[in-house]
A and B are shown apart, each in its own frame.
Chain A
């Protein structure tokens, strides 16, 4: 059948039911669940593991769906987007924690020198003059 999105097989589509098979190597279970959640106002949803190891999603409509092919496409898109969100969440988990801690901290968590140092000692070498010696830069080589 239709295989417009890698790892997301639309097995069957009707005005009362849609069945998908999704590759867990591409889509996290949490992403599939979140996508399903968004459709749970209009569908009863079952998630199973198929024999091939893929996740089978059965969406049984509560009322007849007019444009079921488009709806199926929407579901696949939603899974894709939710997977992307999971990637972002994982990728930014640590920096997000740091940002929240910094937001509620009275001191800097990344610039202790700026916060605590005596400017006379200048540990960050800010005073170092750009003109302490004239530069001879060979820019022709670039």
Chain B
């Protein structure tokens, strides 16, 4: 599991800033202001003009103890490399990795707040505190991202909670990263307002998709799982409105004890009522946050729900709706489902068990969440 937040031992008096990492001392002067030079070792003198300098060595020699804008890299952040984008807060010494050049799982977190409280949320919103305003940080980061980035996620909390920030960020993506596919993860409820859908559409992003969860075909069950009344109605209307404006939608269904038996009904509901969706993702639980706390209430072993899972897949496939299965290991899935199982876990939190060393299909298997070390199917076995 990669550490994306770090604390350096050094701090100085300066405003927080966003910059791109480079290992090239000879960068054109014009771009150095936006970049941080990543050095293997400390040096006697540093090339002028960079916003800051980061050294790989943890401890500074005394000669550099008071040198401003030179940070030693915090522990476990040695993976950082050219093209990565970081946010540095000099007064606290905090480094936050916003974007990794070689990752396929880069995500823009627009806000930490949410208007739902899903009982299996792996990353619960923080309780009340100072309201953060993260958009400026991301708006500074987007222009620094690589033009050939294939995909970018936009998530939160709930991105539509700060709708104008979301619009600005989408516009920035369109402007700076016109070849990058963007997927917004949202509960879709704010799209109940056509005015928001209209504004999204006006941005005219060339490759935009919305990933929206529906947890049941029964409204009250969905509302219970997300802990918000009328959420089902708002989400479904949101999806319909997005469709009216020509936006692409993917439906995500997290599988938990409360909905797994009705999975075939959920599949049929999607096929009859939302047949235009581009894709359906059937997702295993991530045992963190509320999910970890509620584990006994929500967990059901995948080995025990292969029948409804297969029936649901059969239904969606017959209706020509593409399906994928996320966050499941191959050994707990029926073989017929293997082609649908994707390696879906973000690289920085993707791990395998000791047992998996000798498994013949490990290369194709998505593995586990780092947090699932003790929370996984009892049916895990070597193939």
Contacts and interface: CB of A to CB of B under 8 A. Distances in A.
A–B contact, 8 Å CB criterion (strictly below): yes
Interface string A109-140: 00101111111101010111111111000000
A105 to B, nearest CB: 13
Contact of A131 (B113, B163, B189, B193): B113
A126 B234 contact: yes
A127 B116 contact: no
A133 B117 CA distance: 12
B71 to A, nearest CB: 34
A99 B329 CA distance: 45
Interface residues of B, number: 23
B192 interface: yes
B57 interface: no
Given A111-B237, A119-B163, A131 B114 contact: yes
A119 B196 contact: yes
A38 B238 CA distance: 46
Contacts of A131: 113-114, 117, 125, 127-128
A129 B241 contact: no
Given A119-B163, A126-B234, A127-B115, A133 B192 contact: no
B193 A114 contact: yes
A111 B233 CA distance: 11
A133 B127 CA distance: 8
A130 B113 CA distance: 9
Nearest to B226: A130
B277 interface: no
Contacts of B189: 126
B128 A132 contact: yes
Interface string B151-189: 000000000010100000000000000000000000001
Contacts of B237: 111, 114
B190 interface: yes
A84 B60 CA distance: 87
Interface string B205-239: 00000000000000000000001101000100100
Nearest to A114: B192
B128 A133 contact: yes
Given A126-B189, A133-B128, A134-B127, A114 B115 contact: no
B234 A129 contact: no
B4 interface: no
A120 B117 CA distance: 22
A117 B193 contact: yes
A137 to B, nearest CB: 11
A130 B234 contact: no
Contact of B190 (A115, A116, A119, A130): A119
B194 interface: yes
B227 A126 contact: no
Nearest to B189: A126
The 10 closest A-B pairs by CB, nearest first: A119-B193, A130-B117, A119-B196, A114-B192, A126-B189, A119-B195, A129-B115, A131-B125, A118-B195, A115-B194
Given A115-B194, A124-B230, A131-B128, 4 more contacts: A126-B234, A127-B161, A130-B116, A133-B128
Interface of B: 113-117, 125, 127-128, 161, 163, 189-190, 192-196, 227-228, 230, 234, 237, 241
15 contacts: A111-B192, A114-B192, A116-B194, A117-B193, A118-B195, A119-B163, A126-B190, A126-B234, A127-B190, A130-B114, A130-B116, A131-B114, A131-B127, A133-B128, A134-B127
